[in-house]
């Protein structure tokens, strides 16, 4: 409960140092030494990764508007996931450029218009990065996918209502897809 008589300053920890304890191509793990509001010194583990972009591509078809989604194997959950295209920013890449690149690579579509829906922290307790969500419309097909060597992705046209009703049940298992749907529903209720 917010109390107007107290400052938020009493909740803020001050970082006094950090140390990288592990690194791989997609993230690193850091120990961050922080001082509490009560002046206690504690160490916290943080997963440090580049920002991500997720694209909500909407295709106008004769049967109505549909999402272009991708089905792929997820190693963490050990199951197939049906989700919006997305991925990690390349070094120096803007959020919009990353979104357009991921859309083209994974779906073989390009967007005539793209706009940011919002961004958030995927897990602020342990992760330092942000995920940026975009709406892509006026889609045009390209010659083919341009997948990374370890990507195996099927493209599917999914009725918008099906995605909304399916979230939280296989194959709609990716939690960030729920955030993407919530942001999409702010501009286009299902």
pLDDT (tens digit per residue) in 94-138? 999 999 999 999 999 999 999 999 999 999 999 999 999 999 999
The full DSSP string for 58-93 is: EEEETTEEEEEEEEEEETTTTEEEEE--EEEPPTT-
pTM for this entry: 0.92
* Predicted pLDDT of residue 176: 97
* Predicted pLDDT of residue 3: 54
Q: Which domains does the chain have, with CATH numbers?
A: 8-48 (no CATH), 52-187 (3.90.79.10)
Element (H, E) at 105: helix 95-107
Give the span between the Cα atoms of 135 and 145, in whole angstroms. Answer: 20
Q: What is the mean pLDDT of residues 27-35?
A: 97
Q: Is the pLDDT of residue 175 over 70?
A: yes
Give the span between the Cα atoms of 115 and 92, in whole angstroms. Answer: 20
Q: What is the mean pLDDT of residues 133-161?
A: 93
Contact 43, 19 (CB under 8 A): no
Catalytic positions, please? 149
Q: What is the mean pLDDT of residues 155-183?
A: 97
* Predicted pLDDT of residue 6: 67
């Amino acid at each position: 409960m917010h109390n107007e008589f107290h400052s938020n300053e009493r909740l803020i920890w001050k970082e006094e140092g950090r140390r990288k304890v592990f690194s791989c191509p997609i993230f690193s793990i850091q120990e961050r030494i922080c001082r509490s509001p009560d002046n206690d010194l504690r160490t916290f583990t943080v997963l440090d990764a580049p920002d991500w972009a997720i694209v909500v591509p909407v295709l106008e078809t004769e049967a109505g508007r549909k999402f272009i989604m991708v089905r792929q194997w997820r190693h963490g959950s050990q199951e197939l996931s049906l989700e919006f295209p997305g991925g990690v920013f390349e070094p120096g890449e803007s959020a919009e450029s990353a979104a357009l690149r991921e859309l083209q690579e994974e779906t073989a579509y390009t967007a005539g218009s793209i706009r940011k829906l919002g961004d958030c922290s995927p897990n602020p307790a342990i992760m330092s990065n942000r995920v940026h969500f975009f709406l892509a419309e006026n889609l045009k097909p390209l010659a083919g996918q341009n997948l990374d060597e370890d990507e195996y992705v099927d493209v599917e046209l999914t009725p918008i209502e099906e995605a909304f009703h399916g979230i939280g049940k296989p194959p709609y298992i990716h939690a960030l897809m729920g955030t993407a749907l919530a942001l999409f529903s702010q501009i286009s209720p299902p």
